[in-house]
Amino acid sequence: METNKGIIFDLDGVIVDTAKFHFLAWRKLANDLGFDFTKEQNEQLKGVSRVESLRKILEWGELELSKTEFKRQMALKNENYLSYVAKMDKSEILPGVQKVIDYLIENNIPFALGSASKNARTILKKINLLDEFDAIVDGTDVSKAKPDPEVFLIAAEKLNVKPENSIVFEDSVAGVQAANNANMISIGIGEEKTLGEADYVFNDFTEIDIDFIKKLLTK
């Protein structure tokens, strides 16, 4: 297919449901420190870097940690998170995602990963998708967290696609804002009431049919 467009996928909560593992690991950390946070507050952690997430959580718990303890808690959280990741395989790819990826490959449409996670490559490897992406931009490549557009702008550049021709799939508020800030087409995966700022919102990939993708690509 002839198109000047490219696709950028977020990872956590879009390709795989690792958002639930992040939540479990952060909640354990908070509970161990003697407080809790709500599912609504957790929405604010989605798409946000590891450091930023811990800062927010400590603010909610009205707790201050020394630099050393802060680092130790981040490492503990990641260790706990990775214990869930270790059990993952390709059956964890969310329903409907593979069909879209297969279509993009068959039609030579460039696609990239744009994730805040430093564990992105580990996860892609576990689900057998590491070699499928034309470009991978993750938490080790960026200095500014979503909603800053940096991660998506680098991904588009690597795909050699203009920002306005890039289509982003995102499950987080911060990520939808990052795509919008990059002047890209944003597609929210989740609830309309949370992701209303996106150009389009679907509950999940099973609601997205290939015709919709085709239309976006040929627009």
Of the residues 8, 97, 115, 150, which one makes contact with ligand BG6 according to CB under 6 A: 115
**Which of Mg ion, ligand BG6, none does residue 150 bind (CB under 5 to 8 Å by kind)?**
none
Which tokens in the block code for residue 141?
Answer: 């490549």
CB of 41 to ligand BG6, least distance (A): 12
Contact call for residues 159 and 110 (beta carbons, < 8 A): yes
**Cβ proximity of 146 and 197 under 8 Å:** no
Q: Report the residue number, 5 or 117, with the smaller CB distance to ligand BG6.
A: 117
The binder of 177, among ligand BG6, Mg ion, none, by C-beta within 5 to 8 A per type, is none
- By the 8 A CB rule, do 116 and 47 touch? yes
- Note the residues at the interface with Mg ion (CB under 5 A): 10, 12-13, 171-172
Closest to ligand BG6 by CB, 30 vs 109, is: 30
Among 8, 16, 43, 50, binds ligand BG6 (CB under 6 A): 50
177 belongs to the binding site for ligand BG6 (CB under 6 A): no
Contacts of 119-122 with C-beta under 8 Å, sequence gap 24+, read 119/78, 119/81, 119/82, 119/85, 120/11, 122/82, 122/85
Query: Is residue 166 a contact point for ligand BG6 (CB under 6 A)?
Result: no
Q: Quick one: which of 96, 87, 89, 97 has its CA closest to 10?
A: 97
Q: Which position has the token pair 């395989």? A: 89
Binding site for ligand BG6 (CB under 6 A): 11-13, 22, 45-50, 53, 78, 115-119, 139, 172
